[in-house]
Structure 1
């Protein structure tokens, strides 16, 4: 469990101003962490230590977590607890801890009960179930498609792709591809722009006839050089000059072929995916 004294003191004996954020769930904790983190992102001036506590689905488990939280409060730390626990009894045990409790579901569930004219289910963890089985399998098929078509490994069935992400190496193609596949069930391929693809006015032969499905990524030369340096330090591949050249050629190629593109340097995978879906008019 948590060491309250270590959490309260910043190692030098000076009490830390860092707050503790708990994400507590009766299931995996993914929803609590995602929604809670989205709320905390609005307070960039406050530092948080984060603790995700999944599968708190018994009163005894809730009491154990409440004791840990109470220990932090006793040490001078004021935790904030984000929870998606549905059981009123379990939630009550967490509230006894004395921490600020942000119930991420209660208000919305009450509104839905009124709107739908029916009561919520008390089954624990139901939110995290597979749900629509067809949608689940669609996502799995999309992941398989993304793996097969990662980094231009296959040109098979590109005609059924929802989008083809093109970019120089290490601009964020693969993580964006996988996120779109797993989160939205979209069929996404990605293709690396290499020296072999230049000079040319047209898109590479592999993707040229699918130009309407292409979306480009770029970044800043310095950022690309830093990322590549981690893979191949002190190489031509990671040099600032090479990165500058590749990015300039890629952006010129996008503009000539009217391929929409975005700069990935300061954007998260979630943000890039949202822009791609909006730009390409894709729906999950």
Structure 2
């Protein structure tokens, strides 16, 4: 399979470049080696970026793909001379909107997703992340009334990364609870969750994928054995069906896709934009 280096470059966080890039790359069949370069707003960072692009071109023999969002004209100009296939993530939209609105854009560094410490949004995000970290992996089952959603699933089914993504990107307070091997012989819904059934959502995963993930963590262990993964998933999915808990399979989904599908199925709304 063809291999191409892919760079995400921005004078901000590069989150937008990554999001657009992933959506576009998903349409093509090749292996992408991805790197992200945020806050490229100085000559020092620009020089390091150009050096990495040139190194990629020299080693691969093909130009790397660069998804970029750059405001400063001098940095855009320097980047345009690099040996890369360049894709301006926002340029096409900005130019068209200038024509449609009859207004000139007023570029400003890091305007997108800007959150100041004086804004309610900033403190909402921090509170959501702090709550989610305090309720990660079943550490605490206190203050469940404050939770927006409670994620359930076996160990390594994607609960923690999904919880943190939903907290950071959507401002949601997320509890996640893992079912472990000791739970399998008497699988039941915890009493703490009974009155919050409407907040419960399950994550499951294909046994082969779960085995692979656990092997990377604890190779050769009973925890990572295919049979153990099969048994745990069968028991937990049985609980989901018995208790009418909605759930999705995370095997082939990115954390962004998992989070968005959860919002779609539950009707939860993003608190941060």
TM-score, normalised relative to structure 2: 0.82
Paired residue for 1:35, among 20, 35, 54? 20
Q: What residue in structure 1 maps to residue 186 of structure 2?
A: 199
**Stretch deviating more after TM superposition (26-35 or 178-187):** 26-35
Q: 2:240 aligns with which of 228, 231, 254?
A: 254
Decide which of 214, 218, 222 is 1:228's aligned counterpart: 214
CA separation of 1:66 and 1:213: change in aligned 2, threshold 3 A: closer
What SS is found at the alignment partner of 1:127? coil
Match of 2:63 in 1: 78
SS at match of 1:262: strand
More off after superposition, 73-82 vs 215-224 = 73-82
Q: CA deviation at 1:161?
A: 1.2
Q: CA RMSD in A?
A: 3.1
1:155–1:72 distance in 2 versus 1, CA, 3 Å: closer
Instruction: After superposition, give the CA deviation of every residue in 1:180-235 in whole Å (9 maximum; x if it has no partner).
Output: 111111111011224347535x5221212211110111122233233333444444
- SS of the residue corresponding to residue 237 of structure 1 reads helix
1:3 is aligned to: none
1:268 paired to 2:254: yes
**Residue from 73, 86, 106 that aligns with 1:121:** 106
| Structure 1 range deviating more: 106-115 or 209-218 | 106-115
Partners of 1:277 and 1:34 lie apart in 2 by 18
Contact 1:19 1:79 in 2 (8 A): yes
Shift of the alpha carbon at 1:144?
Answer: 0.9
Contact 2:184 2:232 (8 Å CA) reproduced: no
The higher radius of gyration belongs to 1
- How far off its partner does 1:268 sit? 1.7
Q: Which runs of 5+ in 2 are unaligned?
A: none
1:46-77 alpha-carbon deviations (Å, 9 max, x no partner): x4444544443357865775577567668853
8 Å contact kept, 2:8–2:66: yes
Q: Corresponding residue for 2:40?
A: 56
Report the Cα distance in structure 2 between the residues aligned to 1:31 and 1:153, rounded to whole angstroms: 32
Alpha carbons of structure 1 residues 53 and 192: separation in structure 2 relative to 1, 3 Å: closer
Distance 1:63 1:40 in 2: 26
Unaligned 5+ residue runs, structure 1? 1-15
Residue of structure 1 in register with 2:96 after alignment: 111
Question: How many residue pairs were aligned?
Answer: 267
TM-score when scaled to structure 1? 0.79
Contact 2:184 2:235 in 1 (8 A): no
Spell out the pairing of 1:10-21 with structure 2 (5 A cutoff). 18-21=3-6
The 2-side partners of 1:65 and 1:151 are apart by 38
* More displaced stretch, 78-87 vs 207-216: 78-87
